[in-house]
């Protein structure tokens, strides 16, 4: 009983012998056919061979192309098969059949030829079953496209640094035989930190195509992103490793910024240092531009900590606006698509004027006043020089009252107050009368910190005040 088909068969056994069937000629007649396994083997080995190219099209930047051909009968390789080839179309057309060689033990053959001109060749291969040196009707054939001398120009920007969250774009140009190559399919997709599905684009009539790799949804600051650009020869929307040319781009995603406040100030002749950080990425060009009173521009490269500093001396009074950008295309300019920080306002002053007004300082004995905190004895107005840009963040002043024979305070009992240029400040004399003295100091809040640091802030003027009345 055969369990496969449910049929009964009569089987004869021979002592010290076996039943063999040799159905074919050499070499098949030496294969033993036993059961349906042998029948399957016989069918496969007596089937017509098939030939195929492992990949098509094939791309090469030179005039020499290599293609791998495989000859099989069903799933089985056909060794020692003669393979012919010819070029049926293209700049290197040659319709004569030429012997490429014989397949190896795995049914494979490396077919190689050198053309005289760059361009698109249509290569045809044939299995010479009867080995008569030509491809007869009925003998298996296969064809492939060969792009000889294809130039791929990856228009990548130096450094490949982007603003955090910005899409990455790159322009590719294909030239074949000195002419733009249109209609070629390319893929772009992200690998790291978040894989993204490929975007499919094709070259236009000028051979150009712009590929865009979207930014990950939640990119970490200072991260690197890996983008793959691939020429999809076989249009299977996959980048076939080792068969299709590709380029990896490592993109640093950055933010440029500064911890410095806007509205800092210095006395003309002093030096100011503006520091910027680019997400810890070293070696990036940063364009630093100063407009205003001390206009200038320069390019510096971030250090190992991703920082860069602009240090310059103020030669003229007025307001400077300082802007910094990551110069991605290294053209010594801040373009619209480049990450930018600023502008920071920095003021340069030549000094200050102090005016006093009120009954305690007008020199008129008839205008009486009383010490105490009930009403101000006089007003002090400090004004910076020169006039500064009213649209920028204005620098602030400190007005300090120093006791001598008289004691004075501002409202709230403070001796030091952060104040505004050109705005009167009420002064209360707590102790003293006509003939007593006190001093008024005007400081520049150089670092815009809001706190008076005598070692860091600039003293603009100090005046001794003798009370009258």
Q: What pLDDT sits at residue 394? A: 82
Residue 88 has pLDDT above 80, yes or no: yes
Higher pLDDT, 162 or 67: 67
Angle at CA of residue 205, ends 200 and 211, nearest 5°: 30
Residue 402 has pLDDT above 80, yes or no: yes
User: Which range, of 80-84, 238-242, 303-307, averages the lowest pLDDT?
Assistant: 238-242
Q: What is the DSSP letter of 421?
A: T
CA quadruple 378, 383, 389, 393: dihedral sign: negative
Q: Count how many Cα atoms sit within 13 Å of the Cα of residue 5 in the half-sphere of its side chain.
A: 5
Note the CATH number of domain 351-466. Answer: 2.60.40
Give phi and psi for 45, each to the nearest 5: -80, -15
User: Which range, of 29-43, 241-255, 308-322, 376-390, averages the lowest pLDDT?
Assistant: 29-43
Q: Of the CATH numbers 2.60.40.10, 2.40.50.140, 3.30.360.10, 3.50.50.60, which one belongs to the domain with range 256-349? A: 2.60.40.10
Averaged over 242-261, what is the pLDDT? 75
Averaged over 315-327, what is the pLDDT? 91
Range 134-140 contact pairs with CB under 8 angstroms and sequence separation of 24 or more: 134/84, 134/97, 135/84, 135/97, 140/48, 140/49, 140/50, 140/51, 140/71
Task: Quote the CA–CA distance of 186 and 173 in Å, as a whole number.
Answer: 11
Which residues, other chains included, contact 308 with Cβ-Cβ below 8 Å and sequence gap of 6+?
A: 275, 276, 277, 278, 286, 288, 300, 301, 302, 324
Is residue 149 classed exposed, middle or buried when 0-12, 13-18 and 19+ CB atoms within 10 A define those classes?
buried
Nearest to residue 290, comparing CAs of 392, 197, 161, 212? Answer: 392
User: Which range, of 40-49, 135-144, 293-302, 333-342, averages the lowest pLDDT?
Assistant: 40-49
Residues 175, 207: contact at Cβ < 8 Å?
A: yes
Q: What pLDDT sits at residue 158? A: 39
Helix (H, G, I), strand (E, B) or coil at 136: coil
Give phi and psi for 29, each to the nearest 5: -70, -10
Averaged over 44-60, what is the pLDDT? 76
Confidence of residue 57 (pLDDT cuts 50, 70, 90): confident
Q: What pLDDT sits at residue 397? A: 92
Task: Quote the CA–CA distance of 324 and 360 in Å, as a whole number.
Answer: 50
User: Which range, of 40-54, 87-101, 303-317, averages the lowest pLDDT?
Assistant: 40-54
User: Which range, of 296-310, 386-400, 405-419, 435-449, averages the lowest pLDDT?
Assistant: 386-400
Task: Quote the CA–CA distance of 271 and 320 in Å, as a whole number.
Answer: 13
Element (H, E) at 211: strand 208-213
User: What residue ranges do the domains of the chain occupy?
Assistant: 1-46, 50-148, 151-254, 256-349, 351-466
151-254 shares the fold of 50-148: yes
User: Which range, of 99-108, 111-120, 195-204, averages the lowest pLDDT?
Assistant: 195-204
Q: What pLDDT sits at residue 20? A: 53
What does pLDDT average to over the chain?
82
Q: What pLDDT sits at residue 32? A: 55
Residue 411 has pLDDT above 90, yes or no: no
Q: What pLDDT sits at residue 30? A: 52
Q: What would be the CATH architecture of the domain defined by 151-254?
A: Sandwich (2.60)
Tell me how far CA of residue 131 lies from CA of 27, 80, 84, 105, in angstroms.
17, 11, 10, 18
50-148 is a CATH 2.60.40.10 domain: yes
Give first-to-last CA distance, the chain, whole Å: 137
Percentage above 70 pLDDT, the chain? 81
Q: What pLDDT sits at residue 159? A: 44
Averaged over 455-461, what is the pLDDT? 88
Residue 31 has pLDDT above 90, yes or no: no
Buried b (16+ CB within 10 A) or exposed e, 234-263: eeeeebeeeebbbeebebbbbbbebebeeb
Helix (H, G, I), strand (E, B) or coil at 420: coil
Residue 444 has pLDDT above 70, yes or no: yes
């Amino acid at each position: 009983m055969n369990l496969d088909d449910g049929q009964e068969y009569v089987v004869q056994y021979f002592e010290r012998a076996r039943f063999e069937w040799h159905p074919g000629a050499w070499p098949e007649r030496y294969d033993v056919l036993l059961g349906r396994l042998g029948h399957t083997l016989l069918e496969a080995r007596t089937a017509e061979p098939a030939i195929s190219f492992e990949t098509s099209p094939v791309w090469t930047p030179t005039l020499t192309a290599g293609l791998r051909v495989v000859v099989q009968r069903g799933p089985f390789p056909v060794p020692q098969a003669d393979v012919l080839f010819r070029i049926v179309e293209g700049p290197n057309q040659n319709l004569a059949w030429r012997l490429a060689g014989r397949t190896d033990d795995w049914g494979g053959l490396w077919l190689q030829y050198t053309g005289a001109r760059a361009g698109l060749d249509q290569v045809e291969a044939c299995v010479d079953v009867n080995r008569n040196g030509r491809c007869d009707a009925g003998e298996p054939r296969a064809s492939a496209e060969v792009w000889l001398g294809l130039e791929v120009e990856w228009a990548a920007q130096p450094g490949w640094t982007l603003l955090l969250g910005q899409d990455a774009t790159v322009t590719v140009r294909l030239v074949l035989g000195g002419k733009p190559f249109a209609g070629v399919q390319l893929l772009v997709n992200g690998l790291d930190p978040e894989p993204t599905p490929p975007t499919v684009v094709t070259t236009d009539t000028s051979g150009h195509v712009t590929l865009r790799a979207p930014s990950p949804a939640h990119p970490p600051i200072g991260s690197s992103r890996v983008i793959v650009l691939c020429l999809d020869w076989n249009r299977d929307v996959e980048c076939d490793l080792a068969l299709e040319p590709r380029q990896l781009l490592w993109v640093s995603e950055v933010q440029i910024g500064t911890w410095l406040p806007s509205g800092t100030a210095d006395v003309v002749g002093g030096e100011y240092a503006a520091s910027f950080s680019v997400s810890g990425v070293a070696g990036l060009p940063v364009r630093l531009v100063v407009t205003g009173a001390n206009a200038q521009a320069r390019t510096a490269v971030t250090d190992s900590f991703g920082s860069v500093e602009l240090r310059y001396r103020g030669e003229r009074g007025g307001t400077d606006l300082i802007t910094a950008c990551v110069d991605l295309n290294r053209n010594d300019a801040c373009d619209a698509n480049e990450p930018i920080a600023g502008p920071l306002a920095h003021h340069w002053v030549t000094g200050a004027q102090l005016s006093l007004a009120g009954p305690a300082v007008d020199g008129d004995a008839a205008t009486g006043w009383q010490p105490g905190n009930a009403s101000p004895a006089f007003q002090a107005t400090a004004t910076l020089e020169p006039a500064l840009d009213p649209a920028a963040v204005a620098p602030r002043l400190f007005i300090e009252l120093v006791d001598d024979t008289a004691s004075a305070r501002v409202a709230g009992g403070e001796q030091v107050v952060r104040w505004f240029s050109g705005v009167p400040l009420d002064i209360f004399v707590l102790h003293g009368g006509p003939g007593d003295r006190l001093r008024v100091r005007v400081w520049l809040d150089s670092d815009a910190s809001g706190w008076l640091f005598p070692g860091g802030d600039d003293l603009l003027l100090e005046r001794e005040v003798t009370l009258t009345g």
